[in-house]
Chain A
Amino acid sequence: MSFPSRLQSWLRATLQRSGLEREMDSELRFHLEAYAEDLMRSGLSRSEALRRARLEFGGFERAKEECREARGISFLETLLQDLRYAARTLRKNPGFASIAVLTLALGIGASTAVFSLVNAILLRPLPYPDPDRIVMPELVSPPGVNLGSEYFPWGQIQFRMLTRDSHPFQAVGAFQNDSFNLTGTGDPFFLDGFRVSAEFFGALGISPALGRTFTTEEDQPGHEYEAILSDRLWRQRFAADPGVLGRTVRLNGYAYTVVGVMPASFAFPRTEEMPSSFNFPREPQLWVPFAIPAQPKGGPSELAIVARLKSGLTLEQAQSAMDLVTKHAEAQDPNFKGWFNTRVIPLARQVTGDTRRPLTLLLGAVGIVLLIACSNVANLLLTRSLGRRREFTLRAALGAGATRLIRQLLTESLLISVTAGAAGILMATAAVYFVKVLGPLNTPRLREVSLDLPVFAFTMAISMVTGVLFGFAPAIGATRENLADSLKTGGPRSGGGPFNPRLRHALLVSQVALALVLAISAGLLTRTFFRMLGADGGFRAERVLTFQLSLPPIKYRDPSHIVTLFDNTLDRLRSIPGVQSAGIGETVPMGGDGESTVIRLSDHPAATPQEWPFANYTIISPGFFSAIGAPLLRGRDFLESDTADSLPVAIVNAAMEKKYWPGQSALGKQVGPGGPRYPLLTIVGVVPDVKHISLREDTAPEMYVLFNQKPWPSMLNMRVALRTRNDPSSVTESVRDALHSIDPDLPLAKVATLTTLLDDSLSQPRFAMLLLACFGVLALVLAAIGMYGVVSYSVMQRTQEIGVRMAIGAGRGDVARMVLGQGARLAGMGLAIGLAASFAVARLMTSFLYGVRPTDPLTFIAVASLLVAVLLLACYLPARRAMRVDPIVALRQE
């Protein structure tokens, strides 16, 4: 028979079921009546004729049933029947059904949400054409030299050496952040932007939404007054006017021509996607040509490079080509020996950077939760099917075929899985929503996260396979069963195979072990977080307002102007009512990393570059330490009497004192920036280690110098800290007025209280800890459910035995001990395996921990005791039931 006609018949049977029933009825009735009429013709009465017709026709209903079968509706019919039956049995046992559905739903929901996150953040390709070919070549610190981070920025000279040499890139672009003061469009507006070389956009492969990118001519000193706007800036400040192209805007006082607007999706580079050694802004709003001279002079510059590999080149080939560039550079200038080593890093890896590690942790955690959930449901299904053995044997005896029984069980398992899947997708949607709302802002690509349907399908499939696999076992058992035996013994007392308790016990033991591993990891992270909260950041965050002070370079080219401006600004700010103290510094705590530089110590002459001492070099004003609340440990603070003409002084942090003058006082020692042309400064004070990015960071040596003793171009971008008497945000308006009265072109940017900055720095670890803690608790609950299931089943199974024991004199205590003993044995095995595994896992987690050893005994003991308590509670309920067994009733059951 052809497939279409079969399908047609089946479809018709399915869709018009009631219509077909009616037709069949009237067709058969027509037959009876026509026959009866023929019989009446031979002289019979109508009623007699009808009776005869019916008699000769035979089983009317049976014929109808056979017709239905012949029509081929049985499949759907049976399915509906099975579904109805399954729903009924599940409803009859709501405890089992809800636990199974909830367990699976939690597993499916949690893993779908986490896999969706991982997929969006780690696996989805970057939004650039041929993203695999985009790389970031980084300069690696010479071996043995610790600059505070593995990589250090490119200089203009190195960049030119690279572009002149034969390099493995089709396009190579340098970029460096800069801040721009946009004037002439309302209030002065502070903009985070980048200076980029001509091939920057080509390396990424992105074209602007409007206009064009920079030409090579525009990327030359003197011609660089062109600008490309971000979509956001274009909409915010230029009303999304397409006529903006060709318009002149004033940036830092210079006239720039707008030549392009980037697409809304483009925001390269975002801080969180770049190496932390760069102090990049969160999101660029503007790009201007870099205009690096062909023969750059030395001097401070902090470039990053993004490049597109020539097509067909592998990463290894690119690396060896770059090693050749290194060799050429070292041959050209021996000064570069050891300082021109590169590492070519794929952009995709750079972008996910540090985010990758917490996410893999999360992935592991959610995998464990899913495993526990599945094994739990497997156990539930196995246990339940034991209780239904009689039912199945009975149904087999009444004529149900093996396939029908198996199908029935499958339908039940699938019904559970599908219901759980529906609940799980709701949970996952909610979870993804909350993660997007509450998750740390600085997670790359978090905004792009959405619920991933393929991932959902995958998790759903896993849970279905579990359901099918373990729902199946009893069906196979039941159909192989000797009917008579099973009915006679009245239950699941004998038997091996799928009814063997060993499988269920093994599942339970593994659940306990996995739950312990997860809970201990969560415990360690929680301890880490509270250690961080308790850590001394070297400052007091309460009642401090911070903001950025960016000076238009065109007006403040002369360092003496800057010094005067800072003096004026500090005077004005200090006179604002409510302000206790005010200070200016290159960074504020939790506001960004310091700049590491090579220094010179008069009493530590360094012979080789490997021995060069280094420290963070931070320019500040007097009053900075009292504004951020860093108490002076020894010596004195910078004073108003320290001027350009007085003794050059420095203040160092405790880490620097400990590193370079261990066991001695740093006071009176001499220190200066590397290079003999800079004068040495005398150390007059020691302050605590002030942390820059995170409370858990290892503090680097740091030296503070006065802004008026050593003016530097980086002073164009400073941070101001104000300690106030009351709510710090209440002075914001007075601060704006004060700045405005000094110079109307000064923008007020990045206004934030120190508490907010501190809070932001904690958001990522807090989030990771909360998630993992949730998973830990979830794992404990699931393990407890598993334990409860196994023990209460065994109590049910042994009711008669318990009755006998009590009848011959066992007390309630003995019975409770027996039940608890069984649970304790299983828990003990799980605990032993789990502890061993936890030691291994915790060692892998070392880099996530702070102030806690991976073998922290407190965490191990506390979490293990919690698990034991929860498991004993899960045993206690069935044990209580066992104690209440009435021996007479139990014995009469047989």
Chain B
Amino acid sequence: MDKQLDLLQGTLDMLILKAVSLGPLHGYGVLLRIQQISRDCLEIQQGSLYPALYRLEHHGWIASEWGESENKRKAKYYRLTAAGKRKLLSEAEKWNRMTEVISGILGTTPEEV
């Protein structure tokens, strides 16, 4: 596995956590919500969504239970756990620091050096 994939994976995890933090969702719902919030700017590989969900559940950051979907079908809903909430906060903070630093670097002009 190379580093780029790692980073992407981490990002996807964070986005999923954020999505379910707004309310319980089934897998397809997670996909829709991320697309909706990002105004369709982010394309998510559907095939990689579920392994990520399973991984997050395995870590105990999200929990799942079976419920009924909008159109009366059995669906598996994910919600954020307390551990997940902490994880999301720390990830978000890390992300913000990172983007700040990186944008700072990218915004540097020759005069500032």
Contact call A63/B51, Cβ cutoff below 8 A:
yes
Contact call B28/A35, Cβ cutoff below 8 A:
yes
Q: 1/0 per position for A382-420, CB-CB distance to B under 8 A?
A: 000000000000000000000000000000000000000
Contact call B75/A30, Cβ cutoff below 8 A:
yes
Task: State which of A2, A9, A27 has its C-beta within 8 Å of the C-beta of B76.
Answer: A27
Any B CB within 8 A of the CB of A69: yes
Q: Which residue of A lies closest to B26 (CB)?
A: A30
Contact call A63/B47, Cβ cutoff below 8 A:
yes
Q: 1/0 per position for B20-32, CB-CB distance to A under 8 A?
A: 0000001110010
Contact call A58/B45, Cβ cutoff below 8 A:
yes
User: In the complex, what distance in Å separates the CA atom of A24 from the CA atom of B64?
Assistant: 12
Contact call A37/B76, Cβ cutoff below 8 A:
no
Any A CB within 8 A of the CB of B46: yes
Q: Which residue of A lies closest to B60 (CB)?
A: A5
Q: Which residues of B contact A26 (CB under 8 A)?
A: 74
Any A CB within 8 A of the CB of B48: yes
Any A CB within 8 A of the CB of B71: yes
Q: Which residues of B contact A60 (CB under 8 A)?
A: 47
User: In the complex, what distance in Å separates the CA atom of A6 from the CA atom of B59?
Assistant: 7
Any A CB within 8 A of the CB of B69: yes
Task: State which of B26, B54, B75, B83 has its C-beta within 8 Å of the C-beta of A70.
Answer: B54
Any A CB within 8 A of the CB of B73: yes
Any A CB within 8 A of the CB of B50: yes
A5-B60, A71-B58 given; A66·B26 CB < 8 A:
no
Contact call A67/B76, Cβ cutoff below 8 A:
no
User: In the complex, what distance in Å separates the CA atom of A67 from the CA atom of B59?
Assistant: 13
Contact call A31/B46, Cβ cutoff below 8 A:
yes
A5-B60, A30-B69 given; A58·B76 CB < 8 A:
no
A26-B74, A34-B69, A37-B71 given; A59·B47 CB < 8 A:
yes
Q: Which of B45-98 contact A (CB under 8 A)?
A: 45-48, 50-52, 54-55, 57-60, 69, 71, 73-76, 83
Q: Which residue of B lies closest to A69 (CB)?
A: B51
Contact call A28/B54, Cβ cutoff below 8 A:
no
Dominant secondary structure at the A interface: helix
User: In the complex, what distance in Å separates the CA atom of A56 from the CA atom of B46?
Assistant: 7
Q: Which residue of B lies closest to A1 (CB)?
A: B59
Q: Which residues of A contact B55 (CB under 8 A)?
A: 70
User: In the complex, what distance in Å separates the CA atom of A56 from the CA atom of B47?
Assistant: 8
Dominant secondary structure at the B interface: helix
Contact call B73/A30, Cβ cutoff below 8 A:
yes
Any B CB within 8 A of the CB of A488: no
Any B CB within 8 A of the CB of A57: yes
Contact call A58/B58, Cβ cutoff below 8 A:
no
Q: Which residues of A contact B74 (CB under 8 A)?
A: 26, 30
Any B CB within 8 A of the CB of A62: yes
Contact call B46/A66, Cβ cutoff below 8 A:
no
Total number of residue pairs linking A and B with CB closer than 8 Å: 77
A1-B60, A34-B69, A35-B28 given; A28·B50 CB < 8 A:
yes
User: In the complex, what distance in Å separates the CA atom of A176 from the CA atom of B57?
Assistant: 80
Contact call B50/A27, Cβ cutoff below 8 A:
yes
Contact call A27/B47, Cβ cutoff below 8 A:
no
User: In the complex, what distance in Å separates the CA atom of A31 from the CA atom of B31?
Assistant: 10
Contact call B47/A2, Cβ cutoff below 8 A:
no
Q: Which of A120-173 contact B (CB under 8 A)?
A: none
Q: Which residue of B lies closest to A27 (CB)?
A: B76
User: In the complex, what distance in Å separates the CA atom of A193 from the CA atom of B47?
Assistant: 89
Contact call B28/A57, Cβ cutoff below 8 A:
no
A34-B28, A57-B47 given; A67·B60 CB < 8 A:
no
Q: 1/0 per position for A352-389, CB-CB distance to B under 8 A?
A: 00000000000000000000000000000000000000
Q: Which residue of B lies closest to A67 (CB)?
A: B54
Contact call B76/A30, Cβ cutoff below 8 A:
yes
Any B CB within 8 A of the CB of A759: no
User: In the complex, what distance in Å separates the CA atom of A9 from the CA atom of B56?
Assistant: 11
Contact call B46/A57, Cβ cutoff below 8 A:
yes
User: In the complex, what distance in Å separates the CA atom of A58 from the CA atom of B58?
Assistant: 23
User: In the complex, what distance in Å separates the CA atom of A62 from the CA atom of B57?
Assistant: 19
User: In the complex, what distance in Å separates the CA atom of A35 from the CA atom of B75?
Assistant: 13
A34-B69, A63-B48, A66-B51 given; A2·B26 CB < 8 A:
no
Any B CB within 8 A of the CB of A23: yes
How many chain B residues sit at the interface, stated as a range, is 20 to 34
Measured between C-beta atoms, what is the minimum distance from B78 to chain A in Å?
Answer: 10
Q: 1/0 per position for A17-42, CB-CB distance to B under 8 A?
A: 00000011011101101110100000
User: In the complex, what distance in Å separates the CA atom of A789 from the CA atom of B41?
Assistant: 69
Contact call B47/A23, Cβ cutoff below 8 A:
no
Q: Which residue of B lies closest to A8 (CB)?
A: B60
Q: Which residues of B contact A5 (CB under 8 A)?
A: 59-60
User: In the complex, what distance in Å separates the CA atom of A779 from the CA atom of B59?
Assistant: 55
Contact call A58/B46, Cβ cutoff below 8 A:
yes
User: In the complex, what distance in Å separates the CA atom of A30 from the CA atom of B50?
Assistant: 12
Q: Which residues of B contact A37 (CB under 8 A)?
A: 71
Q: Which residues of B contact A71 (CB under 8 A)?
A: 54, 57-58
Q: Which residues of A contact B48 (CB under 8 A)?
A: 58, 63, 66
Q: Which residue of B lies closest to A62 (CB)?
A: B47
Contact call B27/A31, Cβ cutoff below 8 A:
yes
Any B CB within 8 A of the CB of A72: yes
Q: Which residues of A contact B59 (CB under 8 A)?
A: 1, 5
Measured between C-beta atoms, what is the minimum distance from A789 to chain B in Å?
Answer: 44
Q: Which residues of A contact B27 (CB under 8 A)?
A: 27-28, 30-31
Q: Which of A196-235 contact B (CB under 8 A)?
A: none
Contact call B46/A9, Cβ cutoff below 8 A:
no
Measured between C-beta atoms, what is the minimum distance from A399 to chain B in Å?
Answer: 15
Q: Which of A562-585 contact B (CB under 8 A)?
A: none
User: In the complex, what distance in Å separates the CA atom of A37 from the CA atom of B72?
Assistant: 13
Q: Which residue of A lies closest to B73 (CB)?
A: A30
Q: Which residue of A lies closest to B30 (CB)?
A: A31
A5-B60, A34-B28, A35-B28 given; A58·B47 CB < 8 A:
yes
User: In the complex, what distance in Å separates the CA atom of A71 from the CA atom of B50?
Assistant: 11
Q: Which residues of B contact A67 (CB under 8 A)?
A: 50-51, 54
Q: Which residues of A contact B52 (CB under 8 A)?
A: 70
Measured between C-beta atoms, what is the minimum distance from A272 to chain B in Å?
Answer: 65
Q: Which residues of B contact A28 (CB under 8 A)?
A: 27, 50
Q: Which residue of A lies closest to B52 (CB)?
A: A70
Q: Which residue of B lies closest to A37 (CB)?
A: B71
Q: Which residue of B lies closest to A64 (CB)?
A: B50
Q: Which residues of A contact B47 (CB under 8 A)?
A: 57-60, 62-63
Q: Which residue of A lies closest to B59 (CB)?
A: A1
User: In the complex, what distance in Å separates the CA atom of A63 from the CA atom of B51?
Assistant: 7
Q: 1/0 per position for A53-97, CB-CB distance to B under 8 A?
A: 000111110110011011110000000000000000000000000
User: In the complex, what distance in Å separates the CA atom of A617 from the CA atom of B26?
Assistant: 104
User: In the complex, what distance in Å separates the CA atom of A781 from the CA atom of B74?
Assistant: 67
User: In the complex, what distance in Å separates the CA atom of A71 from the CA atom of B53?
Assistant: 10
User: In the complex, what distance in Å separates the CA atom of A552 from the CA atom of B45?
Assistant: 106
Q: Which residue of A lies closest to B63 (CB)?
A: A5
Most chain A beta-carbon neighbours within 10 Å: one of B28, B76, B83: B28
User: In the complex, what distance in Å separates the CA atom of A24 from the CA atom of B52?
Assistant: 13
Contact call B50/A63, Cβ cutoff below 8 A:
yes
Contact call B45/A23, Cβ cutoff below 8 A:
no
Measured between C-beta atoms, what is the minimum distance from A35 to chain B in Å?
Answer: 6
Q: Which of A650-675 contact B (CB under 8 A)?
A: none
30 contacts between A and B (CB under 8 A): A1-B60, A2-B83, A5-B60, A6-B60, A9-B58, A9-B60, A26-B74, A27-B76, A28-B27, A30-B28, A30-B76, A31-B27, A31-B31, A34-B69, A34-B71, A34-B73, A35-B28, A56-B46, A58-B47, A58-B48, A63-B50, A63-B51, A66-B48, A66-B54, A69-B51, A70-B52, A70-B54, A70-B55, A71-B57, A72-B58
Name A's B-contacting residues (CB within 8 A): 1-2, 5-6, 9, 23-24, 26-28, 30-31, 33-35, 37, 56-60, 62-63, 66-67, 69-72
Given A70-B52, A70-B54, 7 more contacts at CB 8 Å? Answer: A9-B58, A28-B27, A33-B73, A34-B26, A57-B46, A62-B47, A71-B58
9 closest pairs, A vs B, by CB? A58-B47, A66-B51, A5-B60, A70-B55, A70-B54, A63-B47, A34-B28, A57-B46, A67-B54
